[in-house]
Structure 1
Amino acid sequence: MVLLGAGCGIPAASDVRVDGKGGAAAEAGVISRGSEPPTRTASGSVNEAFVRNFLSAAAGEPDRAYERVKAFIAPEDKTRLQEKKGSEVALNVIRLREAAVYTLNSDSTTTVKIAVQQIGVLRANGTLAPPVATETEYEFGLRSASFNGGVNDDRAGLYVINPPNVLLLTDTALRQYYQDETVYFWSSDRTRLVPDQRYRPQAVPVERQVNEVLKWLVGGPSDWLRPAVVGLPDRTELINNATGGNGRWEVNLDMSGDDQNGIDQLITQLAWSLGDLPGKLELKIRNNAQPVVDLSERRASVALYPHVANPQRFGVYDGAIHPLDFDGELSGRVPLAPEVNRNVVSAGLGLAKDRRILAALVVTGSSKNRYRLAVGAGADPVSVLSRSSTEYSSISRPVWLRTVDARPGRGLVVADGRLYRFDEQARMFPVPLNLPSTEVTAVAAALDGQRVALIAGGRLYVAAVNLDGSGVSIGPSRELVTSLTHPTAVDWGREDQLVVAGSVGQPAIYEISVDGALETPLRTDLGAKVNHLTAYPTNRSVRAPSGAYMYEANGVAYRSSPFERIEPKRVRDIAPVPAGVRPSNPSAPFFLY
């Protein structure tokens, strides 16, 4: 089997993370970016290069996708590919599971078979929807484009014959010819911005990027994200295209309502959705100009993730939480009173808007292999914990759903294979999930508090979170299709990327985009299944070093960047170990931010 990244120059023991867009492989220069895929004749008569270019031809602006692909198809077979128009243009994004098989036929044509994994459907609006096609293999033919007296002229190149009746695009071409972007929508309660991943063709010129972002915002969020966010008012439309030059951008919208607060939120939404684009924005609503806004100043004045601190590392040692000390990193003190920092198995600590500490601990129960959830909130140090009324045979590391208002803290945890929400009094409430399997094994919450990642039935999912009243509803969930099988642990490594532990024939950790399309191996030499994984999600509010994740496998904890085993010497505030006594292993590492 050929896995993504197998030929990307990433050594088996690599630990690659890049803060920013494009993914580690692309940033390392392994996959050179280009605006347009190669033409039909660029590969001459080399089968492998021609097929690679054919499976890239659809990349670019949607209105010319069929034209680019049909240039590869023999004239007599062009009608086999039935065209769609406008917003119906969609590309089937595939991952090649094995090297293509080429069979030379007696008539000098070649039959090509490719084994694929269906990843999703790239729509004209830049979203990658779940896959629709179910094919695991495609077959088509190649013939020479020119014969002179029975002799093939290599300079004429090749043609595809008997093509699939679908636009195909490999994940490698997606990475190479598109820029993955993030736009933002306001949460349903309009308290925070929530990321939404899109893909913009590299061929789109810079002067049109503002227009593309506006079209995405007007078109609304990705389907799976809709339960957690609100789009622009109904029937919002662009009046002409956005124009700009010399650091000034003019946008004219036909948008209902004259709510100045809503208009101001739209400007903030635009400022963050335009990434790091500098300059000034003049927004007009039905030709009525709003005050000109400096985009950089707006981003600086309205934090994308307020109340987020620099990350501090902690771990569990001999049943208590301790700081982990690494050179060059800030380490804090445990925000728990000593009398409650006992019998700890794992923990999730968070910061509330009012700087209260939110503490959720998995602690040992009344007998061996029985556990309770212990929760407390208050000023540092937290001295009182409430305990769940029920004991469980297994409880995952608890996670808090971050909020930006004064509402009481709410979190999520998996206990005995079911997902629960919990409150500051350790009361646990089942969270319904409409999934094929009811056996949930892991949950992770994004920095925005409105998205989660789940592992259930051995499959990886993402879902939107709706914080309605005092409750929590999740879903519908979207399954991510990846090369990684049997996932065991997950956390958010960036706004639009997950860090996932699973298997690629052996235990491994991958970085996987929130839609499953882009994946990068982080570690492929683990040697043992990962049962605990935690990451600090790099973001635009805190410029912390990238690559911050920690995990535990076979009773041993590790950190990344640089990769090292977390030894007892890294654990602060512990008594010296007597000579001849083997020290305990630190376990269940986590971040406080």
Structure 2
Amino acid sequence: MRAIGALLACLTVLGASACATVPEESQARVISSGGMAPPAPPVPEPEKDLDALGVVREFVEASAQPNNDNARARVFLDPPSKATWRPDRGLTVMEEKFDTVYAPQQPADENRRIVLLRGTNVGKLGPDSAFIPLSGGFEQPVQLARQPDGQWRIVSPANNVVITEPDFTRNYFRVPVYFFASDRNALVPDLRYVVQKPQSGLPGRVIDLLLAGPSDFLDGAVNNPLGEQAAIEQNVAGGPDGVVTVPLTGVGEQSEEQKLLIAAQVVRSLQSVTSSRIRLLSDGVSLVPGREEWRASDIPSYETAASPGSDLHGLMVSGGRVRSLSDGAPIPGPAGARAYDVVTAAQSLDGRQLAVVERENGRLWLRVGEFGHELARTELSGDRLSRPTWRPALPGPGGGGELWTVVDGSQVVRVLRTAQGTWASQVVNADTVRSLGADISAIRLSRDGTRVAMVMAGNLVVASVVRTADSVILRSPRMLQAERLRNVKDVDWASQDSLVAITDSASLPVVRVPVDGLRLDQFNLSNLTPPLHAITAAPSRPVVVADVEGLWTASEVGEVWSPHDHSIPGDAIPFYPG
């Protein structure tokens, strides 16, 4: 059992400067900060003479504030339930509009009522404080009894708490908690949600999540340098010197290299909830010898391992050859000279290798090799091959040696460089993914290698990538924005935790979606000519989309699309490295 199970996290009030970047109205859920918290103010009783339907509606609203053992919601329960109710650590999030109606069959006792709570799912917050998207409607019966004073109260409430999406947004704050890719020093954000109030408790709640380990979605896909023995020795606390102290224990035996990774984890995870310096202790002394206090700027830029270099401007396929996005000219070597009839292509994250899908005699083949040189034809072919996607290069010599594609819409295949310098295919275990759809038309590995985004039967799906000694497995597939995103055509990673996608819809052609699918942001429609047929994105790069008129770029959701400097009308397919 993880050390977090025994943890009590409580925070003293931080100085005003410590909360400069903290939202006015946000908080966390999973592990409450108790102990030294001030006494909770009394909770007002419900409005007098509310009917049973009104009691249920206000109970839903009050359930969005879980502070002080759900005190706001407990006032709507009868006395026995008020004392015994133990809500689950997760909750269900539904759309803002919901119904409360009397069930068709009511108890014979006129002092008893059954109300049906009906809504449309948005998702659920799991026990690990990660959001899981859901779709479809739900119905939950709620039993009520008239009390001796004539007031209706809920009896035997369900442990599953249900709240609306606006209330969830008002009361919960999204924080990226950081772990590392399993085989390289690349920080990976794990999106979680914490109750916003009290704001002084935000750093402690984030540390609770960090100590508890990665979310179920990323479990097995990332590495946690803190380890399972790590715990908090005392309260996470903000002091009068404007420093937040994180007093760890259980990490003293870690190597100095591991301690530096732990420092990166903690400081980066806290930067979204405090601007204060972070004092990192291990059993009362500095976690990293010679350095006690840290700011985010003191942490190396581990994200560079998951982002293309600034000298790599991107490429495009047009007219059967590969061209540069920076000047529109064909790239050096056979791929740019139209020695192959190139249908689509992908450049490795370090820029050193190129994979192309070529058409020959009505069939598609995969070629791979060094950028600017002859590309070796692999054994992989099919009637359809999706645009390849590269796994990030491993540390040390050899560079990137693995790329993925989908053969004929059904088989996810990774192609690896052998010791002899050839390329061999291996099927990826995607059994859990195929249960969501029969046809995979696009696939993109995240540039840190821990997640994969796919277009499956027109739906946007993400899954985690778990590697064992002899296989790779796709786990925990999730369909994002299933009710709104239909007929998706292409997808790419805008950042480590957000995606951009195109659809064949004239009203929703380009969207941005976080990797957990909680929201959907629509890009400006101006200047685009739907349907679009390709999209590419990368951290700190403009999004590039392709329509029949050519290539268009935009850096922000609301920005008007501008023609690309080297736009080519027709079938151009742009792509950044990765």
TM class by smaller structure: 0.7 to 0.9
User: Which letter maps to 1:68?
Assistant: R
Q: Once the two structures are superposed, what CA deviation does each residue of 1:535-555 show, in whole Å capped at 9, x if it has no partner?
A: 22x4xxxxx36xx33344679
- Deviation by residue 1:357-397 (Cα, 9 ceiling, x = unmatched): 22122222223xx222222225xxx2221223343221222
The equivalent residue for 1:412 is 404
Query: Is 2:72 the partner of 1:68?
Result: yes
- Give me the whole-angstrom Cα distance separating, in 2, the residues matched to 1:142 and 1:508: 47
Note the 1:13-24 alignment, pairs <5 A.
none
2:399 alignment partner AA: P
**Match of residue 172, structure 2, among 167, 178, 182:** 178
Q: What is the alpha-carbon distance in structure 1 between the residues aligned to residue 317 and residue 285 of structure 2?
A: 59
Amino acid at match of 2:81: T
1:197 & 1:160 partners in 2: Cα distance?
34
Counterpart of 2:387, as a letter, is R
CA apart distance, 1:508: 4.5
- CA offset at residue 433 of structure 1? 0.9
Which segments of 5 or more consecutive residues in structure 1 lack a partner in the other structure? 1-26, 149-155, 325-330, 539-543, 575-583
Q: State the Cα deviation string for residues 446-485 of structure 1 (Å, max 9, x = none).
A: 232222123345554322224557x761322332352234
Give the structure 1 partner of residue 255 of structure 2.
Answer: 259
| Aligned position for 2:473 | 474
Instruction: Give 1:505 deviation, angstroms.
Output: 11
Deviates more, 1:238-247 or 1:507-516: 507-516
**Residues 155-234 of structure 1 mapped to structure 2, 5 A cutoff:** 166-206=160-200, 208-231=201-224, 232-234=226-228
Equivalence for 2:309: 309
**Structure 2 vs 1, CA of residues 301 and 81 (structure 1 numbering), >3 Å: closer, same or farther?**
same
Does 1:402 find its partner at 2:372?
no
* Superimposed CA distance per residue, residues 149-180 of structure 1 (whole angstroms, 9 cap, x where no aligned partner): xxxxxxx9x97799665310223322222111
**Aligned partners of 1:62 and 1:524: how far apart in 2?**
42
Q: Structure 2: which amino acid aligns with 1:173?
A: D
Farther off after superposition, 557-566 or 185-194: 557-566
The answer as to 2:107 corresponding to 1:114 is no
- Local SS of the residue matching 1:226: coil
| Contact kept? 1:61, 1:204, Cα under 8 Å | no
Deviations 1:59-103 (A, max 9, x none): 3456523x22233x3648x73996226xx522122335x664768
- CA offset at residue 442 of structure 1? 2.1
State which drifts further: 482-491 or 225-234: 482-491
TM score, norm. by length of structure 1: 0.72
Question: What is aligned with 1:346?
Answer: 344
Tell me which of 80, 83, 86 is aligned to 2:85: 83
What is the correspondence of 1:321-400 to structure 2 with a 5 Å cutoff? 321-324=322-325, 331=326, 336-341=331-336, 342=338, 343-352=341-350, 356-367=351-362, 370-378=363-371, 382-400=372-390
Residues 233, 35 of structure 1: alpha-carbon distance in 2 compared, 3 angstrom cutoff: closer
Q: Kindly indicate whether residue 571 of structure 2 is the aligned counterpart of residue 571 of structure 1.
A: no
Q: Write the distance in 2 (CA, Å) between the matches of 1:102 and 1:505.
A: 38
Alpha-carbon offset, residue 270 of structure 1: 1.2
Residue in structure 1 matched with residue 11 of structure 2 by the alignment = none
Q: Give the paired residue count.
A: 511
Residues 358 and 365 of structure 2 are in contact (CA less than 8 Å); yes or no, is this contact kept in structure 1? Answer: yes
CA RMSD of superposed structures (Å): 4.4
- State the Cα distance separating 1:203 from its structure 2 match: 0.8
Listed one character per residue, the Cα deviations across residues 386-433 of structure 1 (whole Å, up to 9, x for unaligned) are 223343221222111223513431221112112111245554322121
TM-score normalised by structure 2 residue count: 0.73
Task: State the partner residue of 1:152.
Answer: none
Q: In structure 2, do the counterparts of structure 1 residues 112 and 456 end up closer, same or farther at CA, with 3 Å as the change threshold?
A: same
- 1:265/1:333 CA distance change after superposition, 3 Å: farther
Q: 1:216 to 1:433 in 2, by over 3 A?
A: same
The SS at the match of 1:59 is coil
Cα shift at 1:222:
0.6
Partner of 1:281: 278
Distance between the aligned counterparts of 2:429 and 2:103, measured in 1? 54
What are structure 2's unaligned runs of at least 5 residues?
1-22, 30-42
CA-CA distance at 1:220 after TM superposition: 0.6
Q: Which moved more, 1:172-181 or 1:472-481?
A: 472-481
Equivalents in 2 of 1:426, 1:49: separation in Å?
66
Between the aligned partners of 1:422 and 1:43, the Cα distance in structure 2 is: 68
**Aligned AA for 1:451?**
R
Conservation of the 8 A alpha-carbon contact between 1:171 and 1:517: no
CA distance in 2, matches of 1:506, 1:522: 10
